[in-house]
Amino acid sequence: MSDAEYRLHYWPSIPGRGEYVRLVLEDAGAEYVDVVRLAADRGGALMAWMKGDRTGMLPYAPPILEHGELVLAQTAVICRYLASRHGLVPANEANRLLADQLQLTVADLVAEAHDTHHPISTGAYYEDQKPEARKRAEAFLTQRMPKYLGFFERVLERADGDGGVLGAAICYVDLSLFHSLEGLAYAFPKGFAARSGDFPRLMALRAKVAERPRLAAYLASERRLPFSEDGLFRRYPELDFV
Amino acid sequence: MSDAEYRLHYWPSIPGRGEYVRLVLEDAGAEYVDVVRLAADRGGALMAWMKGDRTGMLPYAPPILEHGELVLAQTAVICRYLASRHGLVPANEANRLLADQLQLTVADLVAEAHDTHHPISTGAYYEDQKPEARKRAEAFLTQRMPKYLGFFERVLERADGDGGVLGAAICYVDLSLFHSLEGLAYAFPKGFAARSGDFPRLMALRAKVAERPRLAAYLASERRLPFSEDGLFRRYPELDFV
C-alpha cells in the first residue's frame, strides 16, 4: 500500500469515467495514487484487482476509489464522497441534494454520448455497429445534447452567481460539466461548435474551471490522458453531424 | 397544496421510474400524493408543472418529489433521501455509500433495459427502430442482463444475511431490485425465465420484498399501475430472446 490517502483504480490509458474522479482529486490537491498506471501490466492489473479476494464492497465496474477500509464504485458516488471531504460541495443538505441530482444528470448525458458509438452492444466493436451509430449520433447531436446542455444553461442562469451550477462557488458538478464539455468538443468538433453558441454560460464555466490553478497545472501535465478512440468520447468524423 | 408530507410528480399511467419512488413511499408508510394522477388533464398537468415558474431547483425530468421547500429530481437521489428519512438504509456512512453505489448500478441496468426498445432515439417511436431494437435486445439478454444480475447475486451471497444487499435488513436498493426484476420478467418472459435459475438469491429477494406487509397491500391495490408498452419495461415478443 502506498502512503497516499486515496487509491484510484481505473483503466490506465484513457480519461474515461476515471477522469471525473481525477478532476476532484486534483482540484482538491488530494494525495492519491492512480494505481493501475503504476502497475507493470496495467490493464491486467485492474482486472486482477477487480477479481481478487477482498473483504468489503464488491465493485461492479471501475472507476473504484479506495480510502482506508472503504471501497467505492460508481463515478457519481465517488465524486460526491470526495467533494464532501474537500469542500467541493456546500455543507447544507439542500445544496448537496441539488448537486447530487445535477451530477446524475451529467452522468445521463455522458452515458448517451457513449452510446453514440456503441448503440447496440458494449461487447462489440464500433466497427460492427456503424450504421446504428450514425443514427444514434444524429439523434444525440440534434436532440439529446441540446436538451441536456440547454437544461444546464438554464440552471446556470438561475444560479445567477459568479460560480457554477450552485451559484456562489465552484462545486464538483462544475468539474464534471467541464470534462463533459471537453469530451463533447473532442468527439464532435463540428456538431459541438455549431451549437455551443447557444450555451454561453456553459462555455464560460468551461473556461473558468480550466483556469483554476490546480486544474490548470493538472491539465498541462502528463497526468492528464488525452482523449482517443478507445474511450468514452470518441472522434469519428462520420458521427459528427452539424 | 395537499396536507400530505410528500408530493410526487410523475406520468400518471405507467409505473416507469416513478415506481421506484412509490415503492419507498409505500414501504415506509409515508403520506404522499401522486399529484398528476389526481389532476384533471393528467399528463398535461405534469408538463405544465415542469414548465411553471417556481423558485428553487430546476428539475430535468420526472420523477420529481416535493417535500416542503425541497424539489428533488433523479430517481436514485429521491429514493436515497426518502430511505434516509424512513429507516430504509442504515445510519452508518459505509453502508449508505454501499447502498448508493448499488442503487446507481440498478439505475444503469434499468437504462439499458429501456434502450432495448429505444436503441437509437427516445424521441422516435419503437416502430421506427425495430431492427436496431432486436440487435440491442439480444445483446442485453445474452450479455448485459446476466452480467448485472450475476453481480447482484454475488452481492447477496457476500452479504450473507437474511435481508437484502446490505445483509441484515431490507433497504431501498432491495425495493428497486424487486421492481427491476418484476419489469424484466414482464418485458422478457421467455428470456428472463430461461436465466432466472442462475440467480436464486435474487429470486428469493424478489419474493421476500413482495411479502412485506405494506408492499403486499400496495401491490394488490389500484395504486399500483400495470406494466405496458408505453413504459420503461415493454413486452415485445420479437425482443424476447432465449
CB contact under 8 A, B123 and A143: yes
Handedness of CA B71, B77, B82, B85 (dihedral sign): negative
Which of the residues A53, A60, A105 would you substitute to probe the B interface, choosing the one with the greatest number of B C-beta atoms within 10 Å? Answer: A60
With an 8 Å Cβ cutoff, is B159 touching chain A? no
* Interacting residues of A56 by C-beta distance below 8 A, sequence separation 6+: A69, A70, A71
Which of the residues B54, B55, B60, B125 would you substitute to probe the A interface, choosing the one with the greatest number of A C-beta atoms within 10 Å? Answer: B60
Q: What is the distance between the terminal CA atoms of chain A, rounded to a whole angstrom? A: 49
Length of chain A (residues): 242
CA–CA dist A202, A152 (Å, integer): 7
CB contact under 8 A, A98 and B124: no
Chain B CB contacts of A139 under 8 Å are: 120-121, 123-124
Element (H, E) at A199: none
Mean pLDDT in chain A?
94
Spatial strand order of the sheet with A6-9 comes to A32-34, A6-9, A64-67, A70-73
Please give the single-letter amino acid code of residue A180.
Answer: S
CA distances from A72 to B99, B112, B119, B170 (A): 10, 22, 30, 21
CA–CA dist B189, A125 (Å, integer): 29
CB contact under 8 A, A81 and B101: no
The answer to whether the predicted template modeling score (pTM) of the entire model surpasses 0.90 is yes
Residue A42: the pLDDT is: 65
Residue B86: the pLDDT is: 97
Query: A226 in helix, strand or coil?
Result: coil
Residue A82: the pLDDT is: 98
CB contact under 8 A, A77 and B100: yes
CB contact under 8 A, A121 and B101: no
Please give the radius of gyration of chain A, using alpha carbons only, rounded to the nearest integer.
18
> What interface predicted TM-score (ipTM) does this complex get?
0.95
Nearest of A237, A38, A98, A62 to residue B74 by alpha carbon: A98
Evaluate whether B110 touches B79 at the Cβ level (below 8 Å).
Answer: no
Evaluate whether B214 touches B29 at the Cβ level (below 8 Å).
Answer: yes
> B154-177 b/e with 16+ CB inside 10 Å = b?
ebbeebeeebbbbbeebbbbbbbb
CA–CA dist B209, B159 (Å, integer): 16
- Neighbouring C-beta atoms of residue B196, cutoff 10 Å: 16
* Interacting residues of A34 by C-beta distance below 8 A, sequence separation 6+: A8, A10, A12, A18, A22, A223
CA–CA dist A184, A219 (Å, integer): 17
Chain B CB contacts of A100 under 8 Å are: 74, 77
With an 8 Å Cβ cutoff, is A241 touching chain B? no
Selecting from B77, B111, B120 the residue whose C-beta is nearest the C-beta of A135 gives B120
Residue B50: the pLDDT is: 81
Query: A208 in helix, strand or coil?
Result: helix
What's phi and psi for B66, nearest 5 deg?
A: -105, 130
Identify the closest residue of chain B to A155 by CA–CA distance: B58
CA B9 from chain centre, in angstroms, equals 15
Give me the residues of A, 34-63, that contact B with CB < 8 A.
Answer: 57-60
Chain A CB contacts of B129 under 8 Å are: 135
Evaluate whether A138 touches A116 at the Cβ level (below 8 Å).
Answer: no
Give me the residues of B, 62-81, that contact A with CB < 8 A.
Answer: 69-70, 72-74, 76-77, 81
Tens of each residue's pLDDT in chain B, 242 residues: 457 899 999 999 999 999 999 999 999 999 999 998 887 666 677 877 787 777 667 889 999 999 998 999 999 999 999 999 999 999 999 999 999 999 999 999 999 999 999 999 999 999 999 999 999 999 999 999 999 999 999 999 999 778 899 998 999 999 999 999 999 999 999 999 999 999 999 999 999 999 999 999 999 999 999 999 999 999 999 999 99
Residue B240: the pLDDT is: 98
**Neighbour-count burial of A159, counting CB atoms closer than 10 A to its CB (0-12 exposed, 13-18 middle, 19+ buried):** middle
Chain B CB contacts of A136 under 8 Å are: 119-121
Chain B CB contacts of A119 under 8 Å are: 119-120, 132, 136
Tens of each residue's pLDDT in chain A, 242 residues: 457 899 999 999 999 999 999 999 999 999 999 998 887 666 677 877 787 777 667 889 999 999 998 999 999 999 999 999 999 999 999 999 999 999 999 999 999 999 999 999 999 999 999 999 999 999 999 999 999 999 999 999 999 778 899 998 999 999 999 999 999 999 999 999 999 999 999 999 999 999 999 999 999 999 999 999 999 999 999 999 99
Identify the closest residue of chain A to B82 by CA–CA distance: A97
Residue B37: the pLDDT is: 87
Selecting from B58, B73, B100 the residue whose C-beta is nearest the C-beta of A154 gives B58
Chain B CB contacts of A97 under 8 Å are: 70, 72, 77, 81
CA–CA dist A59, A62 (Å, integer): 8
CA–CA dist A170, A172 (Å, integer): 7
